[in-house]
Amino acid sequence: MQIEQRFLKYVSYWTTSDEDHTTDGNTRIPSTDRQFELGKVLEEELTQLGLENVTLTDHCYVYGLLPATPGYEDRKAVGFISHMDTAPDYSGKNVKPQIIPDYDGEDILLKGNGNYLKVSDFPSLKSLKGRTLITTDGTTLLGADDKAGIAEIITALEEIISSGQPHGDVWVGFTPDEEVGCGADLFDLDYFKADFAYTVDGDYEGEVAYENFNAASATFTINGINVHPGEAKDIMVNAALVACEIQSLLPSDETPAHTEGREGFYHLTDMKGNVESASLSYIIRDHNKNIFETRLNKLRTLEIETNQKYGSGTVSLTITDSYSNMLEIIEKHPHVVDIAKKAISAAGIEPLSRPIRGGTDGARLTFMGLPCPNLGTGGYGFHGPYEHISVEGMQTAVQIIRNIVSITAEMN
């Protein structure tokens, strides 16, 4: 199957995960049963390709093994991992892709809502001129994050098998719930016996990323005192106003809209409430571990000071760690990055390593003992209606995966 067809098939499945994924205090994985629909398809495809150890687990993890070519059994086992879910930030249901052959490098009308995918907002579009571009119609996200990665991995497997390319053991894994921070929670490293692996979950197809944010989520729960406004003096505590006050005390220029590169931020993702109760939800990010801890301590200080001002129990803060910067582990395994860079160069493009302004399953898996940098998919503008990818970018990503398999097979 051509990669374009495979990708369009996968994005037709509604696999959006759910941020509200706890029941009775326990995390549900997968957070949405609809992810099983794609999981079943992938299980079947891996089986039809002739992989061994293919399974779809009760928690919607898909695994498979392409056994080593005879004579290559002693080579290092490499793995490739992508996630099935799409982000809950925007609708992933009823995706209607727009396919634009020989893209002219100009702004693109998204026919579903009349908005434009603008070169001024996404300058990288200029570099995609002449390619076959796939965009959304403006009413949903596309799902290239990370169904492009899945399509690239399976297409690479298909080409390796059909061409007779020699290889050591090649493991593949497809996870649920990466977008809500749980993709690695139940990943079975006793089953997935790779020596090292790569998530295929980035943007520029020549990217190999191995430095990501330290990350946590934080929630302020605010309890107000609600009385008649005519008799409220020195009694009422307006929870909604307290929430506004807490937000006002955070640095206004340390948000995603004002930061780049390794600069961290406080990101207010949800705010709701009334006089009686309110809540603020944040994600906290920073590449520097010490600055990251300073950010968390800032929130803890706000909790203490707000309770001192309005009374004990007015505010409670819950902080949940998400993932850590994989750089400190990957630095001990430089060959994993070197292999990827060599594979990218062999595909005729320039390797690029940038700090990830986010996280991947690979960050968690690296700390679990599986060194796992992140490769690009060729997609851009993830998590919203401006998501786009080129067929040629996906084809290059396939070649890079194949090159990594070849390089690994040549290692003693």
Could you please report the per-residue DSSP string of 261-306?
TT--EEEEEEEEE-SSEEEEEEEEEESSHHHHHHHHHHHHHHHHHH
Which one-letter amino acid corresponds to residue 288?
Answer: N
Catalytic site residue from 45, 178, 286, 387: 178
Catalytic site residue from 85, 146, 286, 361: 85
Instruction: Report the half-sphere exposure of 96 (CA within 13 A, side-chain side).
Output: 8
- How many other C-beta atoms can be found within 10 angstroms of the C-beta atom of residue 197? 25
* Active-site annotation holds for 178: yes
Quick one: residue 144, left, alpha or beta (phi over 0 = left, psi -120 to 50 = alpha)?
A: alpha
CA distance 282 to 273: 15
* Active-site annotation holds for 276: no
Tokens coding 235: 């009694």
Give, in order, the Cα–Cα distances in Å from 11 to each of 136, 143, 164, 279, 411: 11, 6, 29, 34, 36
Q: What beta strand segments (E) does 33-77 contain?
A: 52-56, 62-66
- How many other C-beta atoms can be found within 10 angstroms of the C-beta atom of residue 22? 11
Active site residues: 85, 178
